[in-house]
């Protein structure tokens, strides 16, 4: 299996008649999924999603793919194919369309409805084309055929891309639930037919490649939810992704069976469920859904709140409820259900919210203590079936952390795909399909692009490091005035600290030493205020390190008097 390498050089020009694939996100992380296919000078983009920040990225709202690779080639983009409506596949579309608004967006009815609602908030009116499974569409030199796949959101699609250089089958996110709630199974007959035609590169979802066996059917969740609802004596709060239509359907059905009303909490939840209901993907039992404003008129044992925040996001409804910063209050006797899996990296945030809710007296039901969620991704057993059915010539695992990609590649090898034909790439690695063989030919930049409030891409890794230091180590500012002629200290030095556990009197011991060093430096010819600031930073930095065992951010200010 050919691995990526950190020292890869930029790729050379694409050979005539070859196909180039560059993943700008989703390879090495769970999220930010985006692949760019190039053939005959034209580009086709598959998905354009976001990654959600972790604790070590303070102040960041979203993380986007790095569009620099295609920024000066936006005129070459034929279309953006969206496999399904989850944020990690569509969330970055508004930011890409800022570079060129009229790129056609291709996807299923529900996927396009979700992205159109999102784009309305960005004041962008997109060009869209709705497609269904079995449909064949041509975009420049790319012929695409869409295949029904089952996932944790309705209307998900895989896509077969046919080019003169070969055929690429991209699964999107999928699993092989044989008893799906909407009756729409992953179309393995289509996979087999495409396999017979010839799949030169199979790009497969790796998220659950380490999990043995088969992913549990969604249908098994219903009875568990029903039992939790039967036991609940007061209000029930269910947390889920704002786009998990199947899970919301099960909550609505359980609420109806137990004569409870459901209120949607959170702007994205309200918006998405209205769209799903209007389009017929969500069937709302009669007289079951109420507006959040009406909840005060209902008894606690009549109420179910369907909220966002299942990943512990600080601003989502559930975190705010746990912090008593929401109109909805949770207390003893209430039941909270986490109806989603843990995205890697979010564990601490989620357990912090679970602990907060438990402290308030709520009974918290989550994946670790009840089967209230099943994954939306194919486990190892399902992936083996797919490899045997499709019989691809080359395999490129996508969507997952490095360990997931490696595990997926190993499954392909087990089914007979030659190891040298399994391409393990990371974000930015360039893969060319030439004469039926896929190989790594270089890499392009694919840095994290941070959205921070209204700024996009302004925050750098260095600034995030500064934020972490401020948050973890504290901040010290030092002020001194020196005589411009003699260099003698005429005022100060004064020290102010923030985020330090110690009382400010702790600095009394360093002030004489600081004044002494400043005077000494000035007498030694250091009259430039920048040199004197460096002296102050060095003296206080060493002292803080040895005396306080801290490495705070130090801002020295020297003025001439």
Report the 3 state secondary structure along 290-303. Answer: ECHHHHHHCCHHHE
For residues 135, 377, 65, 98, the Cα torsion angle rounded to the nearest 10 degrees is 40
Per-residue pLDDT at 320: 83
Per-residue pLDDT at 55: 60
Per-residue pLDDT at 284: 93
Q: Which residue has the higher pLDDT, 11 or 7?
A: 11
- Cite the DSSP H helix spans in 415-510: 461-473
Sign of CA dihedral 287, 288, 293, 295: positive
Helix (H) or strand (E) holding 359: helix 347-359
Q: What is the mean pLDDT of residues 473-482?
A: 75
Its pTM stands at 0.82
pLDDT-based confidence at residue 49 (cuts at 50, 70, 90): very high
Q: What is the largest CA-CA distance in the chain?
A: 88
Is 84 annotated as a binding-site member? Answer: no
Q: Which residue has the higher pLDDT, 12 or 132?
A: 132
Residues 6+ positions from 357 with CB-CB distance below 8 Å: 318, 321, 322, 330, 336, 364
Per-residue pLDDT at 215: 92
Rg (CA), the chain: 28
pLDDT-based confidence at residue 2 (cuts at 50, 70, 90): very low
Is 3 annotated as a binding-site member? Answer: no
Q: Are 38 and 14 a contacting pair, CB within 8 Å?
A: yes
Q: How far apart are CA 495 and CA 516, in angstroms?
A: 15
Q: Are 17 and 57 a contacting pair, CB within 8 Å?
A: no
Per-residue pLDDT at 464: 60
Q: Are 301 and 333 a contacting pair, CB within 8 Å?
A: no
The gap from C-alpha 112 to its chain's centroid, in whole angstroms, comes to 19
Q: How far apart are CA 455 and CA 247, in angstroms?
A: 34
Q: How far apart are CA 371 and CA 110, in angstroms?
A: 27
Q: What is the mean pLDDT of the chain?
A: 86
Would you call the peptide bond into 493 cis, given omega within 30 degrees of 0 as the criterion? yes
Q: In what order do the strands lie in the sheet with 455-456?
A: 62-64, 449-452, 455-456
- Coil vs helix vs strand at 161: strand
Q: Which residue has the higher pLDDT, 452 or 201?
A: 201
- Cite the DSSP H helix spans in 452-510: 461-473
Q: Which residue has the higher pLDDT, 241 or 407?
A: 407
Closest Cα partner for 112 from 101, 125, 99?
Answer: 125
Q: How far apart are CA 301 and CA 317, in angstroms?
A: 20
Q: With b meaning 16 or more CB within 10 Å and e meaning fewer, what string describes 390-413?
A: bebbbbbbbbbbeebbbbbbbbbb
Q: How far apart are CA 506 and CA 517, in angstroms?
A: 19
Is 122 annotated as a binding-site member? Answer: no
Does residue 200 have a pLDDT over 60? yes
Sign of CA dihedral 199, 203, 205, 210: positive
Q: How far apart are CA 358 and CA 84, in angstroms?
A: 35
Closest Cα partner for 199 from 147, 122, 123?
Answer: 147
Task: Please write the tens of the pLDDT for every residue from 466-475.
Answer: 556 555 667 7
Closest Cα partner for 218 from 375, 367, 86?
Answer: 375
Task: Please write the tens of the pLDDT for every residue from 15-29.
Answer: 999 999 999 999 998
Is 376 annotated as a binding-site member? Answer: yes
DSSP state of 508: G
- In DSSP notation, 243-304 reads T-HHHHHHHHHHHHHTT-EEEEESHHHHHHHHHHHHTTSS---TT-EE-GGGGGGS-GGGEE
Q: How far apart are CA 451 and CA 445, in angstroms?
A: 18
Task: Please write the tens of the pLDDT for every residue from 72-110.
Answer: 999 999 999 999 999 999 999 999 999 999 999 999 999
Q: Which residue has the higher pLDDT, 557 or 460?
A: 557
Is 134 annotated as a binding-site member? Answer: no
Between helix 245-257 and helix 267-278 the angle, nearest 10°, is 80
Helix (H) or strand (E) holding 352: helix 347-359
Residues 6+ positions from 203 with CB-CB distance below 8 Å: 21, 35, 168, 169, 170, 171, 396, 397, 398
């Amino acid at each position: 299996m050919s691995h990526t390498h950190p020292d890869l050089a930029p790729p050379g020009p694409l050979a005539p008649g070859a196909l180039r694939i560059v993943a700008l996100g989703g390879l090495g992380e769970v999220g930010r999924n985006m692949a760019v296919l190039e053939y005959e000078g034209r580009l086709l983009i598959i998905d354009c999603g976001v990654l959600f920040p972790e604790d070590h990225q303070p102040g960041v709202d979203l993380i986007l793919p790095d569009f620099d690779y295609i920024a000066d080639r936006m005129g070459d983009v034929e279309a953006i194919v969206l496999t399904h409506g989850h944020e990690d596949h569509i969330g970055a579309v508004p930011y890409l369309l800022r570079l060129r608004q009229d790129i056609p967006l291709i996807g299923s009815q529900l996927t396009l409805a979700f992205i159109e609602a999102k784009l309305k908030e960005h004041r962008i009116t997109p060009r869209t084309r709705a497609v269904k499974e079995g449909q064949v569409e041509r975009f420049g030199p790319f012929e695409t055929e869409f295949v029904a796949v089952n996932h944790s959101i309705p209307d998900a699609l895989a896509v077969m891309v046919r080019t003169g250089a070969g055929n690429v089958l991209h699964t999107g996110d999928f699993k092989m639930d044989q008893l799906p709630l909407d009756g729409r199974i992953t179309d393995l007959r289509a996979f087999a037919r495409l396999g017979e035609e010839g799949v030169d590169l199979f790009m497969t979802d790796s998220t659950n490649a380490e999990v043995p066996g088969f992913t549990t059917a969604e249908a098994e969740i219903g009875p568990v939810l029903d039992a939790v609802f039967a036991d609940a004596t007061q209000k029930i709060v269910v947390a889920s992704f704002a786009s998990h239509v199947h899970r919301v359907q099960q909550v609505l059905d359980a609420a109806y069976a137990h004569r409870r009303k459901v209120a949607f909490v959170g702007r994205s939840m309200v918006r998405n469920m209205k769209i799903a209901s209007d389009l017929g993907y969500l069937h709302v039992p009669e007289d079951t859904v109420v507006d959040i404003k009406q909840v005060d008129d209902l008894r606690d044992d009549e109420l179910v709140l369907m909220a966002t925040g299942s990943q512990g996001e600080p601003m989502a409804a559930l975190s705010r409820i746990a912090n008593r910063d929401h109109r909805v209050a949770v207390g003893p006797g209430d039941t909270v259900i986490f109806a989603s899996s843990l995205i890697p990296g979010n564990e601490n945030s989620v357990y912090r919210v679970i602990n907060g809710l438990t402290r308030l007296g709520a009974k918290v039901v989550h994946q670790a203590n009840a089967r209230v969620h099943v994954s939306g991704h194919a486990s190892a057993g399902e992936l083996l079936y797919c490899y045997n059915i499709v019989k691809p010539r080359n395999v490129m695992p996508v969507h997952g952390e490095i360990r997931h990609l490696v595990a997926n590649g190993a499954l392909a090898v087990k089914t007979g795909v030659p190891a040298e034909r399994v391409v393990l790439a990371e974000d930015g690695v360039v893969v060319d399909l030439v004469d039926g063989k896929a190989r790594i030919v270089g890499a392009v930049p694919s840095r994290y692009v941070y959205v921070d409030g209204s700024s996009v891409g302004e925050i750098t890794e260095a600034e995030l490091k500064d934020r972490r230091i401020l948050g973890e180590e504290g901040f010290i500012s030092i002020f001194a005035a020196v005589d411009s002629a003699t260099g003698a200290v005429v005022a100060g030095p004064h020290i102010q600290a923030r985020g330090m556990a110690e009382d400010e009197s702790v600095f009394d011991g360093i002030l004489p030493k600081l004044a002494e060093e400043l005077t000494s430096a000035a007498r030694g010819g250091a009259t430039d205020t920048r040199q004197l600031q460096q002296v102050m930073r060095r003296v206080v930095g060493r002292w803080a390190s040895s005396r306080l065992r801290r490495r705070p951010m130090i801002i020295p200010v020297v003025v001439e008097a």
